[in-house]
Structure 1
Amino acid sequence: MMQLITPDCYAEFASELREMHGLRYRVFKKRLDWEVQTEGEMETDPFDSLNPVYLLLKGSDWRTCGCVRLLPTTGPTMLRDTFPALLDEMVVPASADIWESSRFALDLPATAPKAAGGLAQATYELFAGIIEFGLANNLSGIVTVTDTRIERILRLATWPLSRIGQPQQVGNTEAVAGFLEISYASLLRIRWRGRLNGPVLWQPVLIQSA
C-alpha cells in the first residue's frame, strides 16, 4: 500500500520521512554510488526543502520499501535548475498540470513478488501511485530526470518515457529526461501488468500548486 505525505503532515510523519531518507541513502549512495548529499546515513538535497509531496511504498512488515518525490513544475525543479543540459535547448515545462518526479527508489529483498516483464510487483505499485496522484490532481503528465536503466523498466511496465533529449553521462550514470503520460489508460495498463487489484494510494488528496 502507498502512503501519501503532504507538507502539512510532515510533523505527523517525521519518523516515516527519516526512514525514507535512509532508504534513499542506501539506494543512491551505497548501491548506485551517486554523488549525493548525505549526513548520518540519510540522503537529502535542496529540493526536499521546497515542500514536496512524497509517496512511500509500505511492505508487508509496514516498513518503507519504496519512495518517490513530487514537485510542481511551476517552481524550482531538478530538470530546470540542476540538469538543464538534458533539455537539448527545449523549454522546460512550467505548468500547473505537469509535475516533476524525482528520487524514485526501491529497496526490496530478492524474494519480493514479481509481475509481468520480471519486474517486482512493488515497481508497478509505485508507478500506479504516481498515476493515481496525477489523476486525483488533474495532471496531464509527469516530467522526470532518470537514468536509462529506469527508462528500460518503464518501457517494460508499458508506461514508456517520451524523451526530451538524448541521454548524457552525469557522473557514473547515463541520465535522460522525459515525459510520462498521466491517464486512466496508463493506470489500467500498470494495474494489469502488475496484477494490482484496485487503487494503491490511501486518500489521494487534491494539492493546490503554486
Structure 2
Amino acid sequence: MFTIITPERRASHTDELDQMYRMRYRIVVGEWKWDIPGIDVGYDMDQFDTGETVYVIVRNDGGDIVATSRLNPTTRPHMMSELFSDYCNLQPYPVGADVWECSRFVTDRSMLADPVEDFQVRCRLGLGLTAYCLDNGISRLSWLTHQKFFNLVQRVWKTEPLGLPRRVGDNWAWIPAVSTIDEATFDRQLDRYRNAEAIVAANRAAPSEREAGRVA
C-alpha cells in the first residue's frame, strides 16, 4: 500500500529515492512553478532532505512512484522554524519529540487513471504518514499548506491553524497548521480509502447540485 523509508533503510532504497527526487522536481518545479534555491535541475533535494528525514512513498501497479511526502523532527531545523516562522501569527509553531513536520506532499496526477485512483493514492499516502506517527510516538504533525487543502484535511485530521491565511502573489493563500494524530485518524483514512468510489462520486455531484439550485 505504501513504503516508509527511514534513515536506517535508506541505503537499500537508493533507486527509489532517486526516482522520488526526480518526480518531486517534475511536479513542484515543472507544474507548480516553485523556485527552490540550491537544488539541481531535474532533482528536488533541498536543505530539509536530511539524514533524519523519513519518506513515505506510494507506487502504482507498474511500480512507478506516484506520490510521496517527507517527515522531519521539529527538534532540528525544519521548514517552519527556518522559513515560515513569521506565518505563525496566531500561535507559535510547536516543537517537541512528539511533533514532526510534514512537507512535500506530492502526487503525480498525470500517472493516475482517474479521480478515484487519485483519491485512493492520496489516502494511501496519508495512511503511511499516520502509520509511521502511531508507531513512533508522534502525536502531532505541523505543516504549511494551501487553504483549499487545509479545508480537506480537517475532514480526516483534527487540525488547527497556527496563523491566518497568507497569500503569496497570485497563488493560493497559505496556512501554517498542526494536526493531531491518533488511532481514530487512521481509521477515518482507511474508511475513506475503502469507500473511495462513493466519496468521489458524491464530491463530483455536489457542484452540479449547487449549480442546479442556483439556476432554479
TM superposition score category, shorter chain reference: 0.7 to 0.9
CA contact (8 A) 2:101 2:143 kept: yes
Q: Which residue of 2 aligns with 1:168?
A: 166
Q: 1:12 to 1:39 in 2, by over 3 A?
A: same
TM-score by length of 2: 0.81
Query: What SS is found at the alignment partner of 2:16?
Result: helix
CA contact (8 A) 2:147 2:175 kept: yes
Query: 1:159-198, aligned counterparts within 5 Å?
Result: 159-170=157-168, 172-195=171-194
Query: What SS is found at the alignment partner of 1:43?
Result: coil
Query: 1:13-162, aligned counterparts within 5 Å?
Result: 13-37=13-37, 38-88=39-89, 90-108=91-109, 109-112=111-114, 114=116, 120-155=119-154, 157-162=155-160
For residues 28 and 148 of structure 2, the distance between their equivalents in structure 1, rounded to whole angstroms, comes to: 14
In terms of Rg, which structure is larger? 2
Taking CA–CA contacts closer than 8 Å with sequence separation of 6 or more, which of the two structures ends up with the larger relative contact order? 1
For residues 9 and 57 of structure 1, the distance between their equivalents in structure 2, rounded to whole angstroms, comes to: 16
CA contact (8 A) 2:87 2:166 kept: yes
Letter paired with 1:53: V
RMSD: 1.9
> Which segments of structure 1 move beyond 6 Å, counting only runs of 4 or more?
none
TM-score by length of 1: 0.84
For residues 159 and 85 of structure 2, the distance between their equivalents in structure 1, rounded to whole angstroms, comes to: 18
Query: What SS is found at the alignment partner of 1:177?
Result: strand
Letter paired with 1:111: A
CA contact (8 A) 1:28 1:36 kept: no
Number of equivalenced pairs: 192
Unaligned runs of 5+ in 2: 196-216
Which shifted more, 127-136 or 88-97? 88-97
Give the drift of 1:89. 5.9
Q: Identity of counterpart residues, as a percentage?
A: 28
For residues 186 and 25 of structure 2, the distance between their equivalents in structure 1, rounded to whole angstroms, comes to: 29
Unaligned runs of 5+ in 1: 197-210
